[in-house]
Amino acid sequence: MARIAVGGFHHETNTFVKTPTDFAYFCSHRDRPPLVRRGDVLKWLSGISFALSGFLQIMAKDHDIVPLLWTSGGAGGMVTRDAFERISAELIAELSQQMPVDAIYLDLHGAMVTEDFEDGEGELLRRIRACVGQDMPITISLDYHANVTPEMTDYTDAVSAYLTYPHVDRQETGVRAARTMQHLLKYGRTPGRALRKVPFLIPLHSQSSMVQPSRGIIDLTQSLERYDVLTVSYLAGFPPSDIFYCGPSVVVHAVTQELADCAADEVARFIALKESEFAIPVLSPAEAVARAKAIASRADRPVIIADTQDNPGAGGTADTTGLLFALVEGGAEGAALGYLCDEQAVKAAHSAGKGANITIDLGGRSGPEDVVPFRGTFEVKELGDGKIRTTGPVSGNRDIDLGPVALLQVGSVKVAVTSKRMQALDQAPFRHLGVEPMEQKILALKSTVHFRGDFQALAEDILIAIAPGGHLADSSKFPYQRLRAGLRLSPLGPESKQVFD
């Protein structure tokens, strides 16, 4: 029986979002657990849909698990110095107090940027390696959108990445990480390490593993894993991150350097041949609404419009109004939009009560500069406390707390409004407010790809709309300053001219 320390520290940083992510946000209970410590890690994370949950499922049976700390700040602006230092220091202090341990597993994201460090995970791993020495096996799991660095690769012995986007295999990723840990405990650290950075950025809406070419890339990585090649991971990267190592990666850990290099080169060559296939057409809000209306008029299933640039899962504020304006001005019938975050509007709805009509400014409180509130008179159709059990494959079986929520209707458009941000990746919040998604003609969802996990099976068609928001679907429009020279800003697109200074 081994003594295994476990923990987690997640953040997906959009460096172009002005509002930073502070310590209090990591501590809050939203669509994921709050910051939890020691035994509470096991209470909150066991049996739900995170990578640590899957790791515990396998390893807790036969080993002594030493829980340290787990927290997730979701996606948003840069992590504050205070938040990073407090959480890192607490995790490492707890690890120091619990020594000796035989191995370490960490549930990470891989795209954390802090006020001091472009590579938050690499810095955390550097400190942990300094604490425990060079012989300690360390395995990690990473999100599909990780911007992997040499430090993440070198300080660890295995990287298990999500194989899906939408992320429906978080728990299974933890199971795979557990299998690699079993190998490391038996045979020791892996000397072979390889990292290949793909020379172009891939827009988030083109990264879905449910379609080609991503599906084929992932299939190839899994075919190359075997006894002597411990992990082969493809990570599609997180484009709205102005750092030197932004972008897709291939990471391999193997028993020899030659094996690691061969596997990494094979996957990198395969991706290079697929560059031109990462292209999905996008529409303006007005175009998307007009097309959705035309399709819905002859369909018996909803048409989905993805409000991709206001995806809170990519750092969006979840309160932009461009698609809402287009739905109302375009005369959309039977439309439901969600989830728009506006705590003030929810308070006004709860004060007025169900059935009341209220004239308010909805949304548009957080920018960008060209986003304005939607001023209108809304009927309060339904109210809720926002305490919900999710049901879909991306976040199923979680008890979430969105704060008070309200369903507001203007014309024929219903808007599910929350007090806390949540990407539209699960149908449960709609149902909490009395909206059955399958019965809508048009579903406007603040999401990029994750919605596909729970909503795609409902859809007659899926359209991608480009309304103003904090996440730019076209990476070439970001004002990058720190990318490595020569990195193409989109598939077959222009190259970055910036050089890291």
Higher-confidence position of 367 and 238: 238
Q: Are 341 and 318 in contact (CB under 8 A)?
A: yes
Peptide bond into 100 cis (omega under 30): yes
DSSP 3-state of 265: helix
498 pLDDT band, cuts 50/70/90, is: low
Is the model's pLDDT at 499 over the cut of 70?
no
Q: Is 80 exceeded by the pLDDT of residue 497?
A: no
Query: pLDDT per residue over 319-361, tens digit each?
Result: 999 999 999 999 999 999 999 999 999 999 999 999 999 999 9
Q: What is the pLDDT of residues 189-241, one digit of tens each?
A: 999 999 999 999 999 999 999 989 999 999 999 999 999 999 999 999 999 99
Q: Tell me the C-alpha distance between 359 and 379, whole Å.
A: 9
CA dihedral (173, 178, 184, 186) positive or negative: negative
Q: What pLDDT does 501 receive? A: 47
Q: How confident is the model at residue 281 (pLDDT cuts 50, 70, 90)?
A: confident
Contacts of 457 (CB under 8 A, 6+ apart): none
Q: Assess whether pLDDT exceeds 90 at residue 146.
A: yes
- pLDDT over 70 percentage in the chain: 99
pLDDT greater than 80 at residue 428: yes
How confident is the model at residue 367, as a pLDDT?
A: 77
> Is residue 456 a contact partner of residue 393, using CB atoms and an 8 Å limit?
no
The C-alpha atoms of residue 419 and residue 402 are separated, in whole angstroms, by 6
- DSSP for 181-216, written as a single string: HHHHHHH----EEEEEE-SB---GGG--TTSTTHHH
CA distance 68 to 244: 31
- Residue 500 is predicted with a pLDDT of 46
Cα dihedral sign, 328-334-340-344:
positive
Spans of all domains in the chain: 3-277, 285-472
- Whole-model pTM: value is 0.88
d(CA 498, CA 484): 6
| Residue whose token pair is 């206001």 | 310
**φ, ψ for residue 263, nearest 5 deg:** -65, -45
Separation of alpha carbons 146 and 140, rounded Å? 12
Q: Which residue shows structure tokens 């020279």?
A: 485
